[in-house]
Chain A
Amino acid sequence: MNNRSQVWKFFSSVQLAIFTLSAISLTSIIGTIVPQDRSFAFYVEEYGEVTARFFQVLDIPDMYTSWWFLTLLGLLSANLIVCSIDRFPLAWKQVTLDQTSLSKDRLEKMAYTHVIRNASSTLATTLENALKKGGWKIAKKETKDGVITAAQKYGWSRTGVYIVHASILVIFAGAIVGHFFGFKGSVLIPETKDTDKVYASKTQAPLALGFTVRCDKFDIEFYDNGMPKEYTSRLTVLENGKEVLVKDIEVNHPLQYRGMTFYQSSYEGYRDFLITLTSTTDKSTKTFIAPFQQQIKWEGKDITMGIVNAEALRDRVVRMKVWIKSSQNQPITIMVDPQKPYSLEENGLPYTVSVKQMYATGLQVAKDPGVVLVYIGCFLMMVGLYIAFFMSHRRIWILTSTGESTDLLIAGTTNKNKLGFEKTFTELLQSITNTNG
């Protein structure tokens, strides 16, 4: 029993809280100085063989998920749980306490007291009504000292600090759920191609999606100064070969499907081009991948085409020379801007053509069922902090003793924000001195 209480005491102590918070803070610094998640060779080059081995032993290259760092987080959680279990009942007792069972002596020792002798018989009721109007909870009892009217407000605010502690645990729970039931991956999909799997971030192991995602188009917009303005991918979700969802995603505007989220994260340019022909009669379109300076054929349509030349500004293609030929016509060679449609009808072909450089879109893919918990935890934390710091349990007692005259003892106390309470208390007293005379 003694042992158990020793252990309990250790886990509920503020000393442990100070130790774990300091230890987490100090060790966290390491990971901000030593780059994380690099190869062993990187550390050898950067810090030398001996230090690199030392790092490896201590899991420094991946310290935030190392056994010792997780142990510290575990200690913090245990500390939070045990200290809350230890202290919460006391706080709750203060909330549910019968406030009318206090003796006159106790009331006289309260931080704020005021005595009114020879009060009118209705004064206590006036006070009580004023408090009721102000939202105070009233309880009344006849005691040997007289009638005690106990008023209190925001008793539950004593739970604020426990809400904050619980919120941290909820966030941790969310992180654990995410770790075991979610995944993080990435995939590079070339335009017009699709994929039904992505690759896990750390291991590069393929993960099946259970459906297919196609990249119809990828676009980069630039500012005048050449900075990238927006990356956009048009993604189509296919279930059993049927299109079920089409969405343009941008950075900060991902695609969500079946609990998974696809984020625009990077891209890769190819030396290939996409040539799209749109029929002027029935508006049907077909896109071809054309490697630079190679002829490609539209099977069954007697059309051959290719990209003869391209002009680039830095790493982006700004103009292309496209060549198209069918057996009935002269070959056509035109300069085109990216993605601008050009009519070929003058040249005897019932199509419009548009050309762009081919890209692959880089997507981050995440499934994290723990995010909901994390957000709930964050919300609870803000609510808890507000309650813990800005709301106080305020109590006011009125002891009416009727002997030869009616005497009132008004006493008050608060667990926080003494200034605010003082103001309320004086205002209350002023309100009766006004009505009294």
Chain B
Amino acid sequence: MDSSQLLGITTFTYLFSTLLYVAIFVFKAERLEKAATAFTVIALLIQTAGIALRWVESYQMGIGHAPLTNMYESVVFFAWTIIALYLIIEWKFKTRMIGAFAVPFAFLAMAYASFSTDISKSISPLVPALQSNWLIAHVVTCFIGYAAFAVAAGLGAMYLLKDKSGNNSLLERLPPLKVIDDITHKTMVFGFIWLSAGIITGAVWANSAWGTYWSWDPKETWSLITWFIYALTLHARYTRGWDGTRIAWLALIGFISVIFTYYGVNFLLSGLHSYGSN
């Protein structure tokens, strides 16, 4: 058994998790509730084992480094963080309805990582610039932020869906609008703090590698744009009392910016972060 097999299995287990959560939501299959959670926890454990094994394998190859260094590894970690965060939210807010809106992100991420021909799955050694203790701190903080924004976008979509369709019996089972709004906000606050930490660790790293903490390279600039979008969202809520639909839309717009920062910049623009694109 090697790490790519485990991570391949993870893709299908997340697909199955998605189906279970959608079944709970659409068919009111209450008997499946515990099974969905249990299955997702197991899937997360398999993925954790896969990531850990990939780390071990890199040491066996003599080029040991944390599995957070290229597009493939980052997408895998992104999926991992989304599931971990979702399970925490499920446990904290005692609702499984969010699953159908959050778990698919993890499945899509894993499917992209496994089946895309644009990205290489091989474990490759680190170029000198990436050999730093800041690597783990920077990548982990950024991706916790990204994952939180993904979940917030799922919640935003859920809010809009429920808000638009009025007295649909299917959507009645979703948490009350006020609750969805509250969780969306909290998730965005959580993401904002981690994104801030991600930008800061990136700046400190850049300064220790190149002597410039900020060079306006496209990745940096886009992360700042994303940061501004969420800063605006939080200000609109605190000072103007925005909530509901408008915040839900901002959660979606913010996530588009996240996706562009994470993915679009690597493939459409050039810059210092080019290691991420293969």
Q: Which residues of A contact B (CB under 8 A)?
A: 14, 17-18, 21-22, 24-25, 28-29, 31-33, 35-36, 64, 175, 184, 223, 225, 227-231, 250-252, 254, 261, 263-265, 364-366, 368, 371, 374-375, 378, 381-382, 385-386, 389
Contacts and interface: CB of A to CB of B under 8 A. Distances in A.
Contact of B203 (A28, A261, A374): A374
A25 B228 contact: yes
A252 B275 CA distance: 16
A364 B125 contact: no
9 contacts: A21-B232, A29-B225, A229-B125, A229-B128, A230-B128, A231-B128, A252-B129, A252-B131, A374-B203
B239 A14 contact: yes
A229 B125 CA distance: 8
Given A32-B222, A227-B125, A378-B203, A251 B192 contact: no
B170 interface: no
Interface of B: 63, 124-125, 127-129, 131-132, 189, 192-193, 196-197, 200, 203-204, 207-214, 216, 218, 221-222, 224-225, 228-229, 231-232, 235-236, 239-240, 265, 269-271
B240 to A, nearest CB: 7
Contacts of B127: 227-228
Contact of B128 (A64, A250, A254, A366): A250
Contact of A375 (B128, B204, B214, B231): B204
A217 B93 CA distance: 60
A252 B232 contact: no
Contacts, number: 98
B193 A32 contact: no
Nearest to B189: A389
Given A32-B218, A32-B221, A381-B200, A17 B235 contact: yes
Contacts of A18: 232, 235-236
Q: Which 3 A-B pairs give the minimum distances between C-beta atoms?
A: A366-B211, A251-B128, A32-B218
B210 A364 contact: yes
Contacts of B63: 223
Nearest to B238: A161
Contact of A184 (B132, B204, B211): B211
Given A35-B270, A231-B128, 17 more contacts: A14-B239, A18-B235, A21-B232, A28-B225, A32-B269, A223-B63, A230-B131, A252-B208, A252-B209, A365-B211, A366-B211, A375-B204, A378-B200, A378-B203, A378-B204, A386-B193, A389-B193
Contacts of A252: 128-129, 131-132, 208-209
A254 B211 contact: yes
A24 B208 CA distance: 27
B50 to A, nearest CB: 24
B125 A223 contact: yes
A264 B232 CA distance: 39
